[in-house]
Structure 1
Amino acid sequence: MTSAIVWRRRRAAAGRLWDQFRSQRGGLFGLVILAVIVLLALLAPVITDPSGLDVTHATGGALKPPGDGFLLGTDETGRSVLLLLLWGSRVSLLVGFAATLLCVGIGTIVGIVMAHFGGWVQAVLMRVTDFFLVLPSLVLAAVLSTVLTPGIGSIIIAIAATAWPTTARLVRSQTLAVESRPYIERSWALGAGHWHVIGKHVLPAVLPLVFANTTLTVGQSIITESTLAFLGLGDPNSASWGEMLHNALQVGAVTARAWWYLLPPGLAIGVVVLAFMMCGRALEAVLNPRLRER
């Protein structure tokens, strides 16, 4: 009976959250864009022929402009730029989501542990967090992606290892604010343990902020992955938007005025990151009472 009441309240809260989110036109527009892009990425194996990614099966000429069956022209090997763009979305989104989940998970755990236990635990973790914060994140990600075995997994680890400190500091501040409230003191007085306070009170209060921050972190992760790939530190065996820009630069697409090879991946990165930013800002406005009042 109690669990049914709890789930009913959660569904009602989710409904109110969705109603407030729908009132944010920018966030709703960004959500629609993301839904379309994710759907195209998931359907890429269905609506396209994966064999076209193999240079030995390329049927077009080198750097041919749009036309003759190629809506966005061809690359230097005669492959369809549209095909590379669709399959590149799968890699870029995979790296963005996976790296974000990993870095947000690490940052949330470290932030809660720092604020909750305090003392020498907080001192040690704060010094580690500050160490990663002062390091140039792109340089550190480039070094890690070079040292680790080349591949998508290494890029995900490199991005997550450099992005988690920001989430940790944010979660720490929110945890300190939550644990200063009177109902936390009542829980301690009634004999609650550390895991009860964290699991029942702190984590539910911190998660909305973490969720809003996650949407912003995905866009940053996609930019970092594209930058690493553009610098030649990505996975050369996987088609991604950053890898497309890197190859275009290597073959001289700028001097050849092959705008169809440069513009689509650059626009795709910009549109996806902007859509995530719009969703993140809308969620922040919904979850933050002060911004909602404005």
Structure 2
Amino acid sequence: MSDVTARRREGLARFWREYRAQRSGMYGAAILVVAVLAALLTPLLTDPSGLDVTRATGEKMAPPSLGFPLGTDESGRSILLMILWGSRVSLLIGFLSALLSMVIGTVVGITAGHFRGWPSAVLMRITDWFLVLPTLVLALVLAAILGGGTSTIVLAIGVTSWASTARLIRAQTLAVEARPYVERSRVLGGGHWHVMTRHVLPNVAPLVLANTTLTVAGAIVTESTLAFLGADAGQASWGSMLRGSYDWGAVTSGAWWYVLPPGLCIVAVVLAFTLCGRALEVVLNPRLRGVS
């Protein structure tokens, strides 16, 4: 047991050492640490009653000041307070949607790669169908049918964004199952479950991790777009803030403090996840190290 623990620690240390060598990945990780800490500490440092339009104390559409560092919205609510609480909704939906997409894509990809013949053909036709359909349009339709709420938005994004993951995992599964030790496992009596969980899954896990990190970025963009189009989770999020600024003509009236903060937050977090995902791809895929 001690040898296994030592190997795991050595592997983690090597991973962290190689990841630190990716400067862009470290920049992305720093941004994510700040964003996640802000989301986690917001309930401890701020009062959510300020989000209630009936309890707003600021002047409507007021520019930044000492009392309201990022200005106020059309109801007199603090933009900074909305940004902080909105980070919780946007990040939560992004993480949960990517997790759901990862689970579906991994299960479908491994199953399609392991079982040949008609099971693989059926799963790949379903995957192709989801790849062809516009993800945003399908998510918008599902959100409209199922109604509002965080769980609905997570479900709508998760079930419409797994297809690309499934194709990647299937290709990797085919490569893994062609290796000699997998063939030996079958000859020695290893069943389908044993091969998929003991041999295939550990080998595709690095690809799943890197792809999931990139999926979070796409999920946040999709959630923001859905919120902007009116299919939000019923809570303050960065996308719903952009919708509010658009409805109240913040751009035409010059109220930049209502538009820029949520927009910059979306861009920064999406860029951070993308940088981390690309860095993970380089670290976990030896063939890319020379390219970076």
TM-score, with length taken from structure 1: 0.97
> What corresponds to 1:111 in structure 2?
109
> What corresponds to 2:259 in structure 1?
262
> What corresponds to 2:209 in structure 1?
211
- The residue correspondences of 1:26-175 to structure 2 (distance < 5 A) are 26-175=24-173
Q: Cα offset for 1:293?
A: 2.4
Q: Cα offset for 1:68?
A: 4.3
Give the whole-Å Cα distance in 2 for the aligned partners of 1:146 and 1:8: 51
> What corresponds to 2:239 in structure 1?
242
Q: Is 1:286 the counterpart of 2:283 in the alignment?
A: yes
> What corresponds to 1:227 in structure 2?
225
CA gap of 1:68–1:23, structure 2 versus 1, over 3 A, is closer
Q: Cα offset for 1:49?
A: 1.2
Secondary structure of 1:126's match?
helix
Q: Cα offset for 1:233?
A: 1.1
Q: Cα offset for 1:7?
A: 2.8
5+ residue gaps, structure 1, are none
Q: Cα offset for 1:256?
A: 1.3
Letter in 2 for 1:282: A
Give the whole-Å Cα distance in 1 for the aligned partners of 2:11 and 2:44: 37
Q: When the two structures are aligned, how many residues end up with a matched partner?
A: 291
Letter in 2 for 1:14: L
| 4+ runs deviating over 3 angstroms | none
Secondary structure of 1:11's match?
helix
Letter in 2 for 1:268: C
Give the whole-Å Cα distance in 1 for the aligned partners of 2:21 and 2:57: 48
Letter in 2 for 1:201: H
Give the whole-Å Cα distance in 1 for the aligned partners of 2:5 and 2:136: 43
Secondary structure of 1:163's match?
coil
Give the whole-Å Cα distance in 1 for the aligned partners of 2:187 and 2:43: 58
Give the whole-Å Cα distance in 2 for the aligned partners of 1:44 and 1:189: 56
Give the whole-Å Cα distance in 1 for the aligned partners of 2:101 and 2:248: 35
Secondary structure of 2:147's match?
coil
Letter in 2 for 1:211: L
Q: Cα offset for 1:8?
A: 2.3
Letter in 1 for 2:281: E
> What corresponds to 2:20 in structure 1?
22
Give the whole-Å Cα distance in 2 for the aligned partners of 1:249 and 1:217: 27
Q: Cα offset for 1:5?
A: 2.5
Q: Is 1:186 the counterpart of 2:184 in the alignment?
A: yes
The superposition leaves residues 32-78 of structure 1 with CA deviations (integer Å, 9 ceiling, x where unpaired) of 11001100110001111111011111001110000140000000000
Identity %: 62
Give the whole-Å Cα distance in 1 for the aligned partners of 2:148 and 2:48: 22
5+ residue gaps, structure 2, are none
Give the whole-Å Cα distance in 1 for the aligned partners of 2:94 and 2:248: 27
Give the whole-Å Cα distance in 2 for the aligned partners of 1:196 and 1:100: 26
